[in-house]
């Protein structure tokens, strides 16, 4: 676990999987353990180029790391989905012999960011529900009931029998 997290962000019990709610996720990320070497501008540029393959980096700012040999980078991605991908792909990955640590920072969000995030989540959930209901309706349809019925035969085309009604077989 990270040793430089504020106490309110540490979980009560250590577990292998941490679940994030939509309120805890953010398009704002902090990356720790970026090596502070000579030519660190090129290192940060290389990291940002690789992040640019995932999504659009809106803003970034270099911060002093918790040690003498590392820096931190505050990144704002264009969308939360891009931030999720960055966290999934880069958290605990080696980068110049250091394991990167990626954290969501929802405390940097504005009220409008939070409102947009919750509205976006609501529309995505509604789209998934609609898709599920369409599939369910398609599975429940019976093809023979959905087919259009045949029109009735005209009276001239109806089969007639030359036999008297007493000799006809009843079915």
Task: Give the span between the Cα atoms of 41 and 46, in whole angstroms.
Answer: 9
How large is the average pLDDT for residues 26-42? 81
- Render pLDDT for 83-124 as a digit per residue (tens, 0 to 9): 888 888 888 888 888 888 888 988 888 999 889 899 999 999
Q: Residue 62 contacts by C-beta under 8 Å, 6 or more apart in sequence? A: 44, 71, 72, 73
pLDDT at 44: 79
Determine the Cα angle at 34 with ends 29 and 35, to 5°: 170
- Render pLDDT for 124-147 as a digit per residue (tens, 0 to 9): 999 999 999 999 888 887 555 555
Q: pTM of whole model > 0.75?
A: no
């Amino acid at each position: 676990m990270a040793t430089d997290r504020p106490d309110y962000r540490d979980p009560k019990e250590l577990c292998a999987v941490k679940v994030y709610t939509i309120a805890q996720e953010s398009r704002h990320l902090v990356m720790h353990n970026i090596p502070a070497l000579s030519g660190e501008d090129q290192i940060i540029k290389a990291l940002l180029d690789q992040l640019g393959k995932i999504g659009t980096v809106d803003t970034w700012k270099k911060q002093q790391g918790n040690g003498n040999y590392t820096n931190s980078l505050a990144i704002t991605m264009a969308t939360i989905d891009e931030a999720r991908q960055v966290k999934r792909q880069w958290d605990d990955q080696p980068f110049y012999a250091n394991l990167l640590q990626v954290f969501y920072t929802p405390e940097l969000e504005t009220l409008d960011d939070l409102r947009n995030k919750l509205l976006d989540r609501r529309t995505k959930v509604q789209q998934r529900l609609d898709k599920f209901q369409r599939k369910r309706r398609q599975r429940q349809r019976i093809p023979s009931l959905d087919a259009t019925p045949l029109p009735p035969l005209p009276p001239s085309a109806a089969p007639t029998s030359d036999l008297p009604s007493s000799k006809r077989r009843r079915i």
